[in-house]
Structure 1
């Protein structure tokens, strides 16, 4: 008997112009007890919409039209909201794509993890806390007895993602929905999280729905794969069948887009204008209270220096906590360094963004990693993109409207989307809005902080194409922070490896793996997921790899 069954599901929505459209078109699927089913497909294919239907939930503006969604004997479509609420967190639970957006920053982690047990009166609070510590330990979280006393901002992205899983697991659900849970994680952290998820799910006998665009991750965790496009199932089968003998042309195109050799080649035809456009010189920076010498409690960067040549791209890689984003924040003026300087076009910039001129702000833009928190949830997409047009270029009227439409088209979004709020967009769509907002300033340099991390392989490849096209047309230069090494290889000229706030080595992007000399660089490259079923299990059983992970 199946744990969950979806039968001929149709979901509809109303567009900005009032037109009714069908977004899920007759989908049927089964999930057996203890089975992990992956939903894959590009952005907008319906993956998350179908997964959320298993909780009886639809996004704002959407509605159930027909069909059934049965979970543990209950039809989530026809059940009333009280019955659905009883099942959420106990029968079916959800792990979001952006753990940061799923936590209250003002409450301690433990209080939030045990909330499900409290809401459903599952157990006494002391017992729930003890159970949470056991789950922390099973998820390989550091200091499991005390990590719950921290606040969300006091743990890394990978730790927060595992804590989001702990919140979902505390109620012993029969079915867990994982919505792109490792998308924003670096490769070494991703391995730890995937290994922890697999172990907990197997030991608990839980079923799972794993929504992802990363086929290499899916290969490590899924028993069965369902391929979606435009709200319809294109193909389904065992993980081995889909990944090794795909029958549908669309599935084969997804597999092709994933393979590095099928990605767009690294730009060699960019006009080399020469000169250093952006430089960091001996940057030391950190967070927390400062001592009497002006040094913060936590030093995140230790005398980091790098140069970006005009018309070229510098990749910055390293695991969570290595200082990549801190370096970008220092360059952008969002975090004043303790010492060292940042210069743009040979002129030193003020450490604080508030002290930089409007022209300096225009020339150097940043696209943030967390698309969910980078956009004002109460502001329309058009207003978000239009703000730089008004601020830097004093645009208004017809020119203003035309430029917003042009910018949306540049990032492959329909013009009608300008009227929507961020909550009505997918993670990948929000990330493209952030890129359009940066482009609105007509900058010389863009700091790209994991901007393709939320995009499926097809769209990510298109965005890389777009970035290179813009580079040719606008003489842009990029600092490209990413954990996706194939993406870095596709767009960057040089790659700087960081670890514990220091530069390990800088390598040419061409032949990145062969050029690496430092053991940490070699570990990073070895951790890149392979489109190979069983790769993760074999890797984590390798004593040399295990020792390198422990020593990093």
Structure 2
């Protein structure tokens, strides 16, 4: 590769999986040291394109056409030895799920050292030293000691850092990052994005970032390539594409992105409740412990809150903050260890299951993972019908009619009653979960991360559906999420959780406009910004907060 050749040169790329064309005539270049974000929803072909850069479709049955050159190597015609030399030394990839990319049985440092020795003729001792060096470079504290730990002993963010360290070991000219922050909390996501930004500028490596999150792209790249149905929709400098998109699809994609600056639109007409009315649900000093003896841990510790009919309480916090445990206690799927829980003025926190049954219809939950909460061996219609049968309805005709109404209400075809969960998309499965929660005619629904795994346009559709249902039915909502922008969009009041306690609570406008707790300020500073200039300012603010 001469100094003038692009680091990556893709021309007319096609990728076929059987009869499905996942990538259709894609062409782009990436200069040495540049950063390109490939943005699109699930099924757009962005990951299939990234895999083609390293010849990872070879041997899978996929058919790859067109021309792909990376760091001077013609990937599609290269032999196995050339590809091995390219992977790791010339270009390296960081995958979405570090647990599936790391061997659970071997220490992380040994795995990085092994990769280094494949590409460099060095001793085991030198390879181990290199592993510790790159782990330290990506911000793993006490790198020498932690290099001896296995992947399960690392947090999610540390595992992702370890993958980046492995990719950096051989100083590649190109780093391909495929959805590297999807499963991470907002502050850990910001740390990983800052790390990629710093590494790029220190080493001069090129970056190809694959993501469905437009905000993540704004934080990290110089240019953006928007994909849909395997094709390029729009490409250009990140500030221009995100600031003045030309393609209708790009405009639609950006319009669906939740913004932390956007206040909730008050339902019109407003629900027939007064703010000073008696709360629908009230928690006082709720506590939940796990474990035994000296190993007991309080996942939720002394939480007090209220939920009113027709209003939404947003609960935000990172993994391990206790928000899911709290949500399960609010609908009595978990028993509180201590504290009081009142529904409609009646104490239900200590009611035995037999007496609790009369409240089950009123208190429902929508779970984060609809795949795990829907029985794969039963049709979605039967799953939605379960609460009706539990309530004593036995007329099959009435049950099918009601399920059909519920499916239609959440935007699904009633004729798909007999279909199974795997036949639905992620967003459709989440709609099924909402229909099932509505079947009981609840007064309050707790939504636990209901949109975290969804594309932004599907996410926006589910959020709008919940708002419509609240306007029509006057139900109270508890919306649990780690995404502060989504919570701002849906919530009247917000509670911020950290390590089992609420550190800040109040109206959404007050908490977002004037956060009092340092942790809330830290969370807000970590939210990706669509404006690259603002993203840079927030990166600087994060570094200042970290030094403070």
Instruction: Please give the TM-score of this superposition, normalised by the length of structure 1.
Output: 0.78
1:497 deviates by: 1.5
SS in 1 for 2:236: strand
Query: Which whole-Å deviations, capped at 9, do the CAs of 1:299-357 have from their partners, x for residues lacking one?
Result: 44321222222332211123444333343355466766543355556452579999986
1:67 lines up with 2:66 in the alignment: yes
1:491 deviates by: 0.9
1:46 deviates by: 2.2
Cα–Cα, structure 1 residues 400 and 73, in superposed 2: closer, same or farther, change >3 Å?
Answer: farther
Q: 2:383 aligns with which of 385, 388, 410?
A: 388
Q: 1:548 aligns with which of 534, 545, 548?
A: 545
Cα–Cα, structure 1 residues 501 and 262, in superposed 2: closer, same or farther, change >3 Å?
Answer: closer
Match of 1:202 in 2: 201
Of residues 80-89 and 504-513 in structure 1, the stretch that sits farther from structure 2 once superposed is 80-89
SS in 2 for 1:25: strand
Match of 2:364 in 1: 364
1:225 deviates by: 1.0
Match of 1:4 in 2: 8
1:210 deviates by: 0.9
* CA contact 1:493–1:508 (8 Å) conserved in 2: yes
SS in 2 for 1:195: helix
* CA contact 2:286–2:336 (8 Å) conserved in 1: yes
Measure, in 1, the Cα distance between the counterparts of 2:144 and 2:21.
Answer: 48
* CA contact 1:389–1:400 (8 Å) conserved in 2: no
1:226 lines up with 2:211 in the alignment: no
Cα–Cα, structure 1 residues 235 and 82, in superposed 2: closer, same or farther, change >3 Å?
Answer: same
* CA contact 1:13–1:62 (8 Å) conserved in 2: yes
* CA contact 2:348–2:356 (8 Å) conserved in 1: no
Cα–Cα, structure 1 residues 25 and 374, in superposed 2: closer, same or farther, change >3 Å?
Answer: same
Measure, in 2, the Cα distance between the counterparts of 1:252 and 1:477.
Answer: 32
Q: How does 1:23-34 map to 2 (within 5 A)?
A: 23-34=22-33
1:36 deviates by: 1.5
Identify unmatched segments of 5+ residues in structure 1. 15-19
Instruction: Please give the TM-score of this superposition, normalised by the length of structure 2.
Output: 0.79
Match of 2:459 in 1: 460
Match of 1:142 in 2: 141
Q: How does 1:53-132 map to 2 (within 5 A)?
A: 53-57=52-56, 63-64=62-63, 66-77=65-76, 87-99=86-98, 102=101, 109-110=108-109, 116-117=115-116, 124-132=123-131
SS in 1 for 2:256: helix
SS in 2 for 1:44: coil
Cα–Cα, structure 1 residues 241 and 438, in superposed 2: closer, same or farther, change >3 Å?
Answer: closer
Q: 1:291 aligns with which of 290, 293, 298?
A: 293
Measure, in 1, the Cα distance between the counterparts of 2:474 and 2:416.
Answer: 26
Match of 1:183 in 2: 182
SS in 2 for 1:188: helix
Query: Which whole-Å deviations, capped at 9, do the CAs of 1:135-190 have from their partners, x for residues lacking one?
Result: 23222233333334555555444333323333443454433222222234343333
Query: How many residues end up aligned between the 2 structures?
Result: 530
Q: CA RMSD in A?
A: 4.5
* CA contact 1:216–1:530 (8 Å) conserved in 2: yes
* CA contact 1:5–1:71 (8 Å) conserved in 2: yes
Measure, in 1, the Cα distance between the counterparts of 2:131 and 2:318.
Answer: 26
Measure, in 1, the Cα distance between the counterparts of 2:100 and 2:450.
Answer: 17
Of residues 93-102 and 355-364 in structure 1, the stretch that sits farther from structure 2 once superposed is 355-364
Measure, in 2, the Cα distance between the counterparts of 1:514 and 1:88.
Answer: 47
1:196 deviates by: 1.1
Of residues 326-335 and 177-186 in structure 1, the stretch that sits farther from structure 2 once superposed is 326-335
* CA contact 2:322–2:500 (8 Å) conserved in 1: yes
Match of 2:338 in 1: 339
| Structure of higher CA gyration radius | 2
1:226 deviates by: 0.8
Cα–Cα, structure 1 residues 229 and 263, in superposed 2: closer, same or farther, change >3 Å?
Answer: farther
SS in 2 for 1:258: coil
Query: Which whole-Å deviations, capped at 9, do the CAs of 1:60-92 have from their partners, x for residues lacking one?
Result: 998336323333344444557786566544544
Cα–Cα, structure 1 residues 130 and 267, in superposed 2: closer, same or farther, change >3 Å?
Answer: farther
Q: How does 1:14-25 map to 2 (within 5 A)?
A: 20-25=19-24
* CA contact 1:438–1:446 (8 Å) conserved in 2: no
Of residues 194-203 and 321-330 in structure 1, the stretch that sits farther from structure 2 once superposed is 321-330
Of residues 434-443 and 26-35 in structure 1, the stretch that sits farther from structure 2 once superposed is 434-443
Identify unmatched segments of 5+ residues in structure 2. none
Cα–Cα, structure 1 residues 475 and 125, in superposed 2: closer, same or farther, change >3 Å?
Answer: farther
Match of 1:271 in 2: 271
Measure, in 2, the Cα distance between the counterparts of 1:408 and 1:180.
Answer: 33
Match of 1:17 in 2: none
1:439 lines up with 2:435 in the alignment: yes
Measure, in 2, the Cα distance between the counterparts of 1:172 and 1:392.
Answer: 57
